[in-house]
Amino acid sequence: MKAITSRDNPNVKRLHALATSSRERRSSGLTLLDGAHLVQAALDAGWLLREVVVSAQGLERPEIRGIVERCGALPVLQLTDPLFAHVSPVDTPSGILAVIDIPPSPMPKGLRDSLLVLDGVQDAGNLGTILRTAAAAGLKEVLLTPGCAQAWSPRVLRAGMGGHFCLRIHEHVQVAEVLRGYPGQILATGLGAGARPLYECDLRGPVAWLFGAEGQGLSAEVAALASGLVVIPMPGAVESLNVGAAAAICLFEQVRQQGAGGRT
């Protein structure tokens, strides 16, 4: 374990850049996992960690000490508490970070199972929550259009709570090309002509679910791909749902109809 006490240390500068700069993450191909739960989830999924970073105070916690011990010969940096706060991607430092490679994102081909398409979802919390929901619902493929937030940013990873490690996440996807010939339904939510209540739709087969940005919804290009439009019944006095809530309702209605078992 290497102790670091100076902000001028190259490792501190590198970690700070990974925490704050999407450009640095893209150029280096690296990102940060923040928090014991997320680092533990990566280890449980067999994800390769490049190094672990702990704060002096964090190392006093049995949970974090256990993770460090589990990492064996993996490089571990110990930072003073102020330095750790400086490199932390969140306002409340967790006491442990890990550096990982951002996985490659090849163009998906031959998609036949249910999947999720996110178009221009820019809020990190929403994106991470939706990815976690998709993993919980048993999906494997998620397609992100160029307007989405960076899926492997520390804040999206933190909101995803390990869901990333169960998914194949494809970024900067030209959705029209990828979904050409898709054998299932392609469904979007909305109030347009012909929209059917969600709970009256047959969702037992494969569905490509389309969800758009928080404000403007789906782009015209992606909306045009939908073979059907569904509406979530809302008897309350609100206009619409958060995109994360809408995605969860739709995905788990499909889980219900397919009779999928498992933990709640």
What pLDDT is stored for residue 239 in this prediction? 72
Residues 6+ apart with CB under 8 A from 142: 115, 116, 117, 118, 131, 134, 151, 167, 168, 169, 170
What pLDDT is stored for residue 192 in this prediction? 77
The CATH number of whichever domain residue 204 belongs to comes to 3.40.1280.10
Q: Of 101, 136, 157, which residue constitutes the final position of a domain?
A: 101
Please report whether residue 69 resides in a domain: yes
Q: Is the pLDDT of residue 263 over 90?
A: no
Q: What is the mean pLDDT of residues 30-45?
A: 97
- Please indicate, yes or no, whether residues 125 and 252 belong to a single structural domain of this protein: yes
Query: What average pLDDT is seen over the chain?
Result: 93
- Please indicate, yes or no, whether residues 90 and 145 belong to a single structural domain of this protein: no
- pLDDT, one tens digit per residue, over 59-74 is 999 999 999 999 989 9
- Please indicate, yes or no, whether residues 85 and 151 belong to a single structural domain of this protein: no
Please report whether residue 34 resides in a domain: yes
% residues pLDDT > 90 (the chain): 85
Full domain range(s) for residue 12: 2-101
- Please indicate, yes or no, whether residues 130 and 247 belong to a single structural domain of this protein: yes
- pLDDT, one tens digit per residue, over 132-179 is 999 999 999 999 999 999 999 999 999 999 999 999 999 999 999 999
- Answer yes or no: are the C-beta atoms of 175 and 225 closer than 8 Å: yes
Please report whether residue 147 resides in a domain: yes
Q: In angstroms, what CA-CA distances link 17 with 23, 86, 151, 154?
A: 9, 10, 17, 12
